[in-house]
Amino acid sequence: MAQQPLLAGVDRKMIVQIVAILLAIGGVFGLCGGIAAVFGGTFLGFLSAGSAPLVGMSGDAEATAAVAAGTGVGVLVAILGILLLIEGILALVAAVGLFTRQPWARMGTVIVCVIGVVAQVLSLITGGGFSAIIQGVIYAFVAYFFYTDVELRAYLERP
């Protein structure tokens, strides 16, 4: 028995166009958010690390732990920012590839979505909340669909 394709009856051209538009929008937001997170995380890390000598002189164990936690969160936010910058650039490239029906754009979209899942997991760790879960699930579904759908692959490989 042949397996029913995922989203049977839905026009692949429409799916590609919708995903391309969302990738372009997400790429722009990823670049903006990545820049903000890199600068904010770096600032938080330097601010926390810079206060370490002052806190160390006080001998307060809780304050020392807070400084270490602040530095760690700053580093995580900066890493998330770098990941968002990479994801934003790749998303814009994949969006252009989808708009022009390039065969490589399918795997580019899968890569962007996998990076998006990782970024949402990091976002969840640093306090991203429920929206990080929703975005991660959407990224995972799009990655799975673009990776496995034969009709979509055929659509993007046609001249």
pLDDT for position 2:
54
What digits encode the pLDDT tens for the residues 59-69?
666 766 767 77
Q: What is the CA radius of gyration of the chain?
A: 20
Q: Where are the domains of the chain?
A: 12-157
**Angle (nearest 5°) at CA 117 between 111 and 120:** 140
How far is the C-alpha of 76 from the C-alpha of 33, rounded, in Å? 14
Q: Distance from first CA to last CA of the chain, Å, rounded?
A: 31
User: Is residue 115 within 8 Å of residue 56, measured between CB atoms?
Assistant: no
pLDDT at 91: 93
The answer to whether 30 touches 88, Cβ cutoff 8 Å, is yes
Mean pLDDT confidence for 134-143: 93
For residue 53, what are the contacts with CB-CB under 8 A and spacing of at least 6? none
Measure Cα distances from 23 to 74, 82, 124, 146 in Å: 27, 18, 21, 13
pTM here is 0.78
Q: What is the mean pLDDT of the chain?
A: 84
The structure tokens listed for 125 are 């760790």
Contacts of 116 (CB under 8 A, 6+ apart): 26, 87, 135, 136, 139
d(CA 89, CA 140): 19
